[in-house]
Structure 1
Amino acid sequence: MNDRPAGTAGVGRADVGDRPVQARAHATAATAGRYALVPAPRLSLHAVARRSGLHPDLVRRFVALGLVDAERDAAGHLVFAPTAPAVLARVQRLRSGLCLNYASIGLVLDLLDRISLLEAALRGRGTRSEPPPWT
């Protein structure tokens, strides 16, 4: 039996057994971009500085050096992702723990991100790298 109102049979839906399935959902998911229904939370410069314990001018300097990503809002103010304080804490740990200058910290951060991606790819495949040969 069909529980739909008259005149709506097959409009944007296809029935598979007893489950209604969106007819175009699969096709549009592959071709359409993803749009957030709710804007992603952003942190202001002062909020990031307060959460990371750094002066706002130092945070601006880190943005200029490319150590932390930031965007500009409609008013031209810097806005950051919620992960920015964690990135700044990582920068500070590298600076104090390894006595690196800020230019080399950028390189180390890029290498650490690359290592994380490669390790995730290995975990995703479920395989480990080949053991070294005996000879």
Structure 2
Amino acid sequence: MSSPFLPVIPPRLDLGMVAIAAGVHPDLVRRFYELGLVPARADGSGRLWFAPDAPEQVRRVVRLHADLSLNYAAIALVVDLLGRIDVLEGRRSVIRSGKETPPWR
């Protein structure tokens, strides 16, 4: 019998949960955190807590490193630029919908 409840994504994931979801070793996730590639917060005991989208971020870093042979400094730049593109595309869609006027008008 199936449960009537929808699966719930926890508001935060620990290091092990991120590693399992991303399919990598926890040491690699920790290394990405230390390099600033995947953000996390440490609690009072030093345990790292990640956002629910962290496994996706880890997989993106792994893909960029493996497929494009980018070093981790270049990956940080690419990830930052991709984030900026997402923001700009979101603003463009809002402007196109007519809910906001462009700043140049």
Please state which band the TM-score falls in when normalised by the shorter chain: 0.7 to 0.9
CA distance in 2, matches of 1:46, 1:122: 37
Q: CA deviation at 1:55?
A: 1.2
Q: Residue by residue, what CA displacement relative to the aligned partner does 1:70-116 show, whole Å, maximum 9, x if unpaired?
A: 00123220011111000011111111111101110000000011011
CA distance in 1, matches of 2:22, 2:85: 25
Of structures 1 and 2, the one with the larger relative CO (CA 8 A, separation 6+) is 2
Sequence identity (%): 53
The answer for unaligned runs of 5 or more in structure 1 is: 1-39, 128-135
What is the RMSD computed on CA atoms of the aligned residues? Answer: 1.4
The structure richer in helix per residue is: 2
Residues matched between the structures, number: 88
Partner of 2:36: 66
Q: When the two structures are superposed, what TM-score results if normalisation uses the length of structure 1?
A: 0.61
In the TM superposition, structure 1's runs of 4+ consecutive aligned residues that sit over 4 Å from their partners are: none
SS of residue paired to 2:49: strand
Computing the radius of gyration from Cα coordinates, the structure with the larger value is: 1
CA distance in 2, matches of 1:116, 1:48: 23
